[in-house]
Structure 1
């Protein structure tokens, strides 16, 4: 499959935090792996893995790999790999080639490219000979994601997409998976919602590529909502003013760039905080609701069930079993 011969590239630079440092901070499991290439190793951070799929679908595995050799064995053997799940592979450093059984042969790929892999579609990819690359990947499955397959969405005919700037999109990947890096947590519907929001944002970028300025704007807008104290109600007029826009223009721009409205983003963030409290503390549900700015326990229960599909009590019982 790979026929291009090139001179070995220099070693990848360490521009970002080491995977061990990220694992120490956020959780997951860090290992140094060997065996594929004699005498060489790769840094492997298994961020999360779950064998308990939600009925609607969700994330099953995510890892970030530095000095990866990709699918070098399959390439040597001239064989395709077929997954039973969807997978997104985002290249952070390096370059290589990609082939699949739908007609893509030795397609050049480089840092900033996203590989969209589909269930039962054979594929192979790896760095150029004599080189390595850095990547982050997410695997997921379920009917919630099948609806995102098609033209201008997750399209098997377009397995290679471009996402830039890289630091922004690496941050978005981390926002989707890092909440599940903590030991003992299993994916919930709120986690599926974060991944769907990421996919929606990516798809909108492919349809209408965003400028660096737009990426900076949505990063600032998201940060403003996240940093808003949980007990302070969201005021869209104030949020829009902070971003230099009128309310209507702010709401439209936020949804176009983020894939969801500011109100939905804020609600998901608060319920995500509630999930962490329910799993990691023995605080009462009413106390958690009030600390997150919900004025009544009834409203908290309703919003929690709308986003996760479970009541707070059911979520806590499942998470602690």
Structure 2
């Protein structure tokens, strides 16, 4: 696994959608016992090995694969019996409320959480490693890869099937209609299911992501790509993506990217 300690705090983010990771590290054979308070919010993914996690007078057995949570100003003692394999994500103190609201970070009640599917987490780690090895590093892409790893730690065999042609169909239809209204009742009926079933199956493959959020993500990715990779006018990009009104396209882009399409192009376009 080609991940060394990476410090991303100095990197400016374009978007304020996900918590910004501060540091990432991988310890293939950690032997150190930690006895300290942190100033940050941390996820420690224990991928192999076992040990102990002690909070005050309460001791938790640590058996890989699992996730340990650490939070600011709480004295903690933890470490392997001999050695363990660990990948950690460090988030700044000010992200604590955001992490709690995401329902992934409740360390007081569940400081040690079992990982149902280690393979899903390792796949996510491989994607993170690819992002960290890119030149230059895209910090927003790294934040996304870290969050995918957190989400992968909740995956189960039932919630993460290998393939589903119907989900592929849904994704294509949403990707091909980024501008107009989507009739989800009609979409479900065309696939021979109720809207409730459609939503349930979608949630199995995209936990925590609604249809509208998926479309917004696709819209932002495609519009950013066209702004950077083409010389098309903004009205031409808008038309190519199905928007008859350039100003509606621009308003939507600004709401998601927090800058206008022209500003985005000027800021991130590489001369060629």
Equivalent pairs counted in the alignment come to 262
CA separation in 2, counterparts of 1:237 and 1:156? 39
Question: 1:139 is matched with which residue?
Answer: 90
Question: 1:299 is matched with which residue?
Answer: 248
Q: 2:100 aligns with which of 149, 156, 165?
A: 149
Residue 59, structure 1, aligned to residue 20, structure 2: yes
Cα drift, residue 294 of structure 1: 4.4
- Where in structure 1 are there 5+ consecutive unaligned residues? 1-18, 20-29, 31-43
Contact 1:100 1:121 in 2 (8 A): no
Question: 2:49 is matched with which residue?
Answer: 95
User: What's the TM-score, normalizing by structure 1?
Assistant: 0.59
Cα distance, 1:232–1:164 mapped onto 2, change above 3 Å: same
Contact 1:278 1:312 in 2 (8 A): yes
Question: 2:120 is matched with which residue?
Answer: 168
Residue 212, structure 1, aligned to residue 163, structure 2: no
Contact 2:55 2:77 in 1 (8 A): no
Question: 1:69 is matched with which residue?
Answer: 29
User: What's the TM-score, normalizing by structure 2?
Assistant: 0.68
Question: 2:198 is matched with which residue?
Answer: 250
Cα distance, 1:211–1:242 mapped onto 2, change above 3 Å: farther
CA separation in 2, counterparts of 1:160 and 1:278? 44
Question: 2:257 is matched with which residue?
Answer: 308
CA separation in 1, counterparts of 2:102 and 2:218? 30
Contact 2:72 2:93 in 1 (8 A): no
Deviations, residues 101-121 of structure 1 (Å, cap 9, x unaligned): 44453622302x122222333
The worse-fitting range, judged by mean Cα deviation, of 98-107 and 296-305 is 98-107
Contact 2:6 2:25 in 1 (8 A): yes
Cα drift, residue 182 of structure 1: 3.6
CA separation in 2, counterparts of 1:218 and 1:64? 32
Provide the secondary structure at the position in 1 that maps to 2:36: coil
CA separation in 2, counterparts of 1:114 and 1:231? 38
Cα drift, residue 172 of structure 1: 5.2
Cα distance, 1:128–1:197 mapped onto 2, change above 3 Å: closer
Contact 1:99 1:105 in 2 (8 A): yes
CA separation in 2, counterparts of 1:222 and 1:179? 26
Cα drift, residue 251 of structure 1: 2.4
CA separation in 1, counterparts of 2:244 and 2:132? 28
Residue 49, structure 1, aligned to residue 4, structure 2: no
Cα drift, residue 137 of structure 1: 3.5
Q: 1:183 aligns with which of 127, 135, 144?
A: 135
Q: 2:36 aligns with which of 40, 56, 80?
A: 80
Cα drift, residue 96 of structure 1: 2.0
